[in-house]
Amino acid sequence: MSGRAFAAEKSIISHDYPNHPGALSRQVDAGTKSTLALPLLLDRRVIGVFLFGSRKLGHFTDDHVALMEAVARQLSPLLENAKLQQTLAVTDEIARIITSSLEVAEVFEQFASEVNKLVEFDRIIIHAINEQAGTSIVKFRKGIGPPGSEVGSVRQLQHIRSLDLVTTSKTVVVNDLADSPRYPLDKEYIQAGLHLAFVVPLLSHSRLVGALTLRIRQTNAFGIQA
């Protein structure tokens, strides 16, 4: 499946992996029931393939795939980042992650650990965004912060920074929330001591499907003007 995704430059899904013609016996023996092979593109060139596995039949829905494709788009430039290229151990570890067959939650966990070696964040959250419903659903969370953002929890977009992405689809950097607490949740993060917000849009076919948010105690940690 990885070879097909690489050649086709698009995601390949098997909802019933044990009955897939190209199923590998070691993956079937490990309990893999469905798989997603997702190409990693940079400048229209495939530089790798994510291979996700699940122990559930039909696990990878269209919405699920769209979110993972969007995360992959954010990872591609990261792999080309000069700082990352100089950190060979981290590069090797991310390469291992994206070529492994893992549950999506495991991939998010390991990805977050590797990102933290490059950017020392205090909290990371991956949201799935439903613009029509005006909601954001937490898909992954790691680090300190206010309560109420457990995996599966739903927030109204009007209450969180991700709302800015709906109108601009551009990365949002707030160097110090105390200077501009525009949303109700901002006050909770300020109280938790997380002053810097770095919110990256996750896009699939030019459609906003989610957000990757880093929260950091230190203000102006990136030296970027909002």
Task: Express each pLDDT in 113-131 by its tens digit.
Answer: 766 776 778 998 888 888 8
What's the confidence (pLDDT) of residue 38? 80
| Pairing mode of beta strands 154-156, 135-143 | antiparallel
**What local confidence, expressed as pLDDT, does residue 113 receive?**
76
Q: List the one residue out of 21, 61, 64 whose CA is nearest residue 210.
A: 64
Domain residue spans of the chain? 2-118, 123-216
Helix/strand/coil (H, E, C) string of 120-144? CCCEEEEEEEECCCCEEEEEEEEEC
**What pLDDT was estimated at residue 99?**
42
The larger pLDDT score, comparing residue 112 to residue 221, is at 112
Structure-block tokens of residue 208: 């906003």
Question: Pick the residue with more confidence: 71 or 178?
Answer: 178
Whether residue 103 has pLDDT greater than 80: no
Taken in order 5, 8, 14, 18, is the CA torsion positive or negative?
negative
Q: Across all residues in the chain, what is the average pLDDT? A: 76
97-111 average pLDDT score: 59
Q: State residue 84's pLDDT score.
A: 43
Task: Residue 52: name the closest of 7, 8, 92, 105 by CA.
Answer: 105
pLDDT at 210: 83
Provide the CATH topology of domain 2-118.
Answer: Beta-Lactamase (3.30.450)
* Res 129: pLDDT: 86
Q: What gap in Å lies between CA 189 and CA 170, rounded to an integer?
A: 22
Radius of gyration for the chain, computed over Cα atoms and rounded to the nearest angstrom: 18
Smallest Cα–Cα separation from 94: which of 212, 215, 80? 80
**Gap between the Cα atoms of 213 and 226, Å rounded:** 15
pLDDT score, position 184: 85
Output the CATH code of domain 123-216.
3.30.450.40
pLDDT higher than 80, residue 32? yes
Q: Per-residue pLDDT for 224 more than 80?
A: no
How do residues 134-148 score in pLDDT, each as one tens digit? 998 888 888 888 877
CA 212 distance to own-chain centroid: 6
pLDDT band at 94 (very low <50, low <70, confident <90, very high): very low
> Is 74 or 25 the better-scoring residue by pLDDT?
25
* pLDDT number for residue 77: 58
Strand ranges for 144-195 from DSSP E: 154-156, 172-174
- Same topology between domain 2-118 and domain 123-216: yes
Asked whether the whole model's pTM tops 0.75, one would answer no
